[in-house]
Amino acid sequence: MELRQLRYFVTVVEEANFTRAAARLHLTQPGLSAQIRQLERELGQPLLERGARAVTLTPVGAAVLPHARAALAAAEQVTRTVDEFTGLLRGQVRLGFVSGVAGENFDLPAVLAGFHADHPEVGISLGEHTSEAMLDALRHGDLDIALIGLTGAALDPVFGVDIVLDTGVVAAVAPDSDPGRTAITLAELAERRLMCLPRGTGLRGVFERACATAGLAPEIAFEAANPGVLLQLAAHGLGTAVVPELTAAEADRFGVRTLDITDPTLRGQLGLVWRRDRPGSPATKVLLGQLRIALSA
């Protein structure tokens, strides 16, 4: 019996599906199935019921699961204890962030470059995802730290969060659109041809929550993960973009005008999020500390 087989078993249970578990583990499905079958042969009992739609635990599997999780946690703690004792940082830190945030709002590359210079043995994986996908990845242990857009809904208490940016949400239009106007109500906005960030992003969540509260059902004609693309579309008159607040210089650069959204006003937030209910690796703790300092400055 190997630790990796226990990790495979736990992942299949969490996903209730061999295909999803294999994708999460970066394995082929036949390879994952073979490893689970080998584990079952070694134990002499089936651990999983392989149904047509879902994978479920056998009674033996249900009894084994907490011990498998405990064994994996103990192995992680052994490595963590040795690293902390020797003062070495190594391993991998997985960081996710929303599209368009790196290099525009925060100098993430500078923080990561400084961390790498101090701890060259630590690998860092970076990925751009929607906020919803990153929260799910944090929940399942597939990400260590994430910089996400918040919807305004309460986060699960397992997450720690630092608000690193709080900004207004505005409507961006072509420069010759809405002459003389400086504001638009949410109800008026909902009647327009709209362009917004995709579902699962923080700003889209803020907008949809406000519309649901007001009983509005807007139609989104265009979606783009990068606010800059939405602004370019708005500049060409393809619709009204719902975007984070712009400076006058930014509006001029993209060739748009902005209208304040009223009744109600909307605000978007970026948050640095991590799991606070489980100890991270020493490398994760150090990078998280550096990010909290850098992004709150």
Q: What is the pLDDT of residues 123-168, one digit of tens each?
A: 899 988 889 999 999 999 899 999 999 998 999 899 999 999 999 9
What is the count of structural domains for the chain?
3
pLDDT at 82: 72
Question: Are 159 and 274 within one domain?
Answer: yes
> How far, in Å, CA of 278 to CA of 213, rounded?
35
Question: Are 135 and 275 within one domain?
Answer: yes
The residue-averaged pLDDT of 225-235 equals: 93
HSE, CB side, 13 Å, CA atoms: give it for residue 172.
30
Domain of residue 59, residue span: 3-86
pLDDT at 291: 92
Residue 67's domain is classified under what CATH number? 1.10.10.10
**How does the average pLDDT of the chain come out, rounded?**
90
Residue 213's domain is classified under what CATH number? 3.40.190.290
- pTM over 0.75? The answer is no
Question: Are 177 and 262 within one domain?
Answer: yes
Question: Are 264 and 171 within one domain?
Answer: yes
Question: Are 112 and 30 within one domain?
Answer: no
Helix 59-86 and helix 282-296, axial crossing angle in degrees, nearest 10? 70
pLDDT at 53: 81
pLDDT tier for residue 204 given thresholds of 50, 70 and 90: very high
Of the three residues 54, 86, 118, the one that is the final residue of a domain is 86
> How far, in Å, CA of 226 to CA of 235, rounded?
15
Question: Are 53 and 128 within one domain?
Answer: no
